[in-house]
A and B are shown apart, each in its own frame.
Chain A
Amino acid sequence: MNEQEFADLFSDQIDRMLAGESLEGLPEIDDLPELLDVGQRISQTQFQASTAAQTAFQSSLASWFGPMNGGSPMTFLGLSKIWFISIIIVVMVIVTGTGFIALIATSVVIIGSDNPPVVGTDEPTGTAVAAEPGDDDDEHQPTSVYTSTVTGTPVMTLTTTPPVTGTPTMTSTAVSTTTPTTPIPSPSATPTHPDGPGTGNFPPIIIVNRFPNINLCKGAYVTHSTLVNYSSAPVANAALVWEVIEGAEFVNKVDILSDKLDLPPTPEVEDIGPTPESTIDQTSNHPIYFANMNPISIDQEINLDINVDVGDSWWDQPDGTVIKVRVSVENRIEISDDDEYWDHNRGHGNDPDGYDEDNPGRGHESDHDDDFSTRSQIITIVKQGAKWVSLEGFIHEYGEQTYLVDGNIIIINECTGLPIKFIPGSKVKIIGWLQPDGAFIAIKIIVINVTIITGDFDSGVPYPAPDGGGGDDDDDGGGGGGGGGKNKGGDHDRGHGNDPDHHDEDNPGKGGKKK
């Protein structure tokens, strides 16, 4: 009997043992009885979670699935819930009835007696009920920590501008749509709430984004994520499941490397697992540049289209660790004064083809020869537990770079190109991912500026001044190039959601001419 056969026999016996079967009459092959004895001892070594942990688990189940969680029925003092409640009701009736009778009897005695009552305050009714077990516990149940609504928030509504009596009112609405799509900075560049995240009465929402025509703060943005895939056997093609991703937006290099490469192979696993042919070339140690990474999330599985070298020495290290295929995602982006040639809008979500040849950056004819093209790749990292959030409401200033929308504090990156001052009555709709840590990745921000005009419209309905009159034309993206008549900043709004034809001829920048 070779080792494999012996191992199979051993496993079969262990399975029988774990199933509660008797192992009598086994052939005494080698050290099989002794090994099974060890196995039996291990199988008897079980652990049980504490009552507190089990209670917490039951509580979680109740919150997830509701009280009817399919488990064993809840009991109180060994009684089922129905019996317990029934007994409580009976006791209440008896006690209340007794008290009521006693009260009537006392009243009769008092009325029928010439002597004043001595004591009449000992009223038993209801005391037994108040002392029932469980009431105290109910009072100490943990409650939700966060309150996402703010009472007394100075929300401005359109009704605050009453029309003059007998005068028609016109409301014109300008819609601005911006798709930042780009969660950007490294943690150092991420705006933070002055009080720190989560310290307020409601969770702060941080918008991390970049608008097409706004430069980032100068500096280097570096993020580095290391993803580790644990396994125990060589494989030819490693499908790496990205489990943990920290930050990281721009990917320009993907490495596969191992810090265990120099360790000698472990002899004891030479005859286990796949054949030596599974060892492939060492190219996996080379960096892979220009990874084509579309927006990913941890919910997605990323298969590396390469043969990952998994030399045996990787798999079973002398220190007992198993193979670690490490994928490093390095992101570095340098922002300086010279970065005006960047096409920041490239590859943004609403650009259906992913290329911006129709939307070159400043000074570019096309982006195809752009040396910085890899920087334009965008990855939106959505962490585990992130929620899809849509906020809509009037926006109010709430401090420096801070706004209040729909009862939520929104902190704007100082380098984000939102209007410095929202006109009164501006309404915004923000769609994005709310991360577990309270950070918010804005996918789309729609700014709706509402202008209310009141007056005597008997001679016709007036329209806003067509050019340069409003100062609230935020939807053309041309703020940077205004005055020259040339849309120098590019058609920043092009292709965005609310521009149905993907052209802005009908929506020129301030001071620009209609094409």
Chain B
Amino acid sequence: MQAVEIKPNKQRHSPGTTSNPNLAGLFQEHYPRIYSYLRYRVNAVEDAEDLIGVVFERAYTHRDRFDPDKGSFSTWLFRIAHNTLANFYRSHERRSAWESESGLPPDLVTPEPSPESQVVQKETLAQLLQGIEHLNERDQEIISLKFAGRLGNKEIGEIMDLKEKTVSVVLLRAVRRLRQYMIDKEAAQ
């Protein structure tokens, strides 16, 4: 027989519309990275846009729970996004693959290449996205947090409950697997 210990919150949030320009600025600052991170993990624009609304709503609702002593604001916000995604996956089937056969996602932001290289880049990006899609859950997550969220290994570790050293190894292997996928894909063609 085991007991369950319950630790009540030290403080509860107080809903309301308090003016906090700093927080608003932080929200705005993180919005693009959070969106990109979510978009890496879900294949539909609509889902990503729905999710990001949930993420920031949760962040706003629980803003009083952010403790800078426990981690950075980025970590806290990405952790909310991470958990929101986890909740999303519990209730949604993953879609099969990026619908990149018919073109790149509409919300993809790419550097403007020369016209002749656009075709090459388009194919490469499509392969890249498909490759990421074929990675396992953890690899996708770590790549998303790293390249879309642009987080450090320490922050990623805090979000994924991994040691910082472990993050670097997992990241290395994920990128290796992705590269191997792309090599195999090219060879098959």
| A binding-site residues for B, Cβ under 8 Å | 3-4, 6-8, 10-11, 14-15, 18, 31, 34-35, 38-39, 41-50, 52-54, 56-57, 60-61, 63-66, 68-71, 228, 230-233, 235, 243-244, 254, 268, 272-273, 288-294, 296, 299-306, 316, 319-322, 384-385, 387
Q: Is the CB of B168 within 8 A of A230?
A: no
Given A3-B172, A4-B165, A385-B61: A42 and B147 within 8 A (CB)?
yes
Instruction: Tally inter-chain residue pairs, CB-CB below 8 A.
Output: 225
- What is the 8 Å Cβ interface bit string for chain B, positions 127-166, against chain A (1 contact, 0 not)? 0110010011111010100111010110000001111011
> Contact mask B70-114 → A, CB, 8 Å, 1/0?
000000000000010011001000000000000001011111000
Chain A residues, Cβ within 8 Å of B52: 49, 53, 57
- When distances are taken between beta carbons in the complex, the residues of chain B under 8 Å from A54 are 31
Interchain CB contact (< 8 A) of A66 among B19, B105, B168: B19
B125–A303 contact, CB under 8 A? no
Q: Is B23 an interface residue (CB 8 A)?
A: yes
How many angstroms from the CA of A71 to the CA of B21 in the assembled complex?
Answer: 8
Kindly state whether residue B3 has any CB partner on chain A within 8 Å.
yes
B152 to chain A, nearest CB (A): 7
**Assembly CA distance A387 to B12 (angstroms):** 11
Chain B residues touching A, majority SS: helix
B56 interface neighbour in A47, A52, A60, A299, Cβ under 8 Å: A60
Are B45 and A50 in contact, with the CB atoms below 8 A?
yes
Name 10 A/B residue pairs within 8 A (Cβ), A-sorted. Answer: A3-B172, A31-B176, A38-B128, A47-B40, A49-B31, A49-B32, A49-B107, A69-B21, A70-B22, A243-B83
Contacts of B1 in A (CB 8 A): 288-290
Q: Which residues of chain B are near A291, meaning CB under 8 Å?
A: 2-4
Least Cβ distance of B10 to chain A in Å? Answer: 10
A6, A300, A305: the one within 8 Å of B9 (CB): A300
By beta carbon, the residue of chain B nearest A315 is B138
On whether the beta carbons of A57 and B107 are closer than 8 Å, the reply is: no
Do B4 and A302 have beta carbons less than 8 Å apart?
yes
The total of chain B residues at the interface (CB under 8 A) is: 87
Among B15, B147, B162, the residue within 8 A (CB) of A45 is B147
A residues in contact with B40, CB < 8 Å: 47
Seen from chain B, the residues whose Cβ lies within 8 Å of a Cβ on chain A are 1-9, 12-13, 15, 17-25, 27-28, 31-32, 35-36, 39-40, 45, 48-49, 52-53, 56-58, 60-62, 65, 83, 86-87, 90, 105, 107-111, 124-125, 128-129, 132, 135-139, 141, 143, 146-148, 150, 152-153, 160-163, 165-173, 175-176, 178-179, 182
Query: In the complex, which residues of chain A have a beta carbon less than 8 angstroms from the beta carbon of B2?
Result: 288, 291, 304-306
Given contacts A60-B60, A233-B166, A384-B58, 19 further A-B contacts (CB under 8 A): A7-B172, A8-B165, A39-B175, A46-B109, A47-B105, A48-B108, A49-B31, A49-B32, A49-B107, A53-B35, A54-B31, A57-B31, A64-B17, A69-B28, A293-B6, A302-B7, A304-B2, A304-B5, A316-B136
- If the complex has contacts A35-B179, A70-B24, are A235 and B57 also in contact, measured as CB distance less than 8 A? no
Q: A71 touches which one: B9, B28, B141 (CB < 8 A)?
A: B28
Q: Is the CB–CB distance between A35 and B32 below 8 Å?
A: no
B24 and A71 contacting across the interface, CB-CB below 8 Å: yes
Question: Are B108 and A38 in contact, CB atoms less than 8 angstroms apart?
Answer: no
Cross-interface CB contact of B28 among A61, A296, A319, A320, cutoff 8 Å: A61
| Residues of A with C-beta under 8 A to B132 | 42
State A291–B176 Cα separation when bound (angstroms).
46
Are B5 and A11 in contact (CB-based, < 8 A)?
A: no
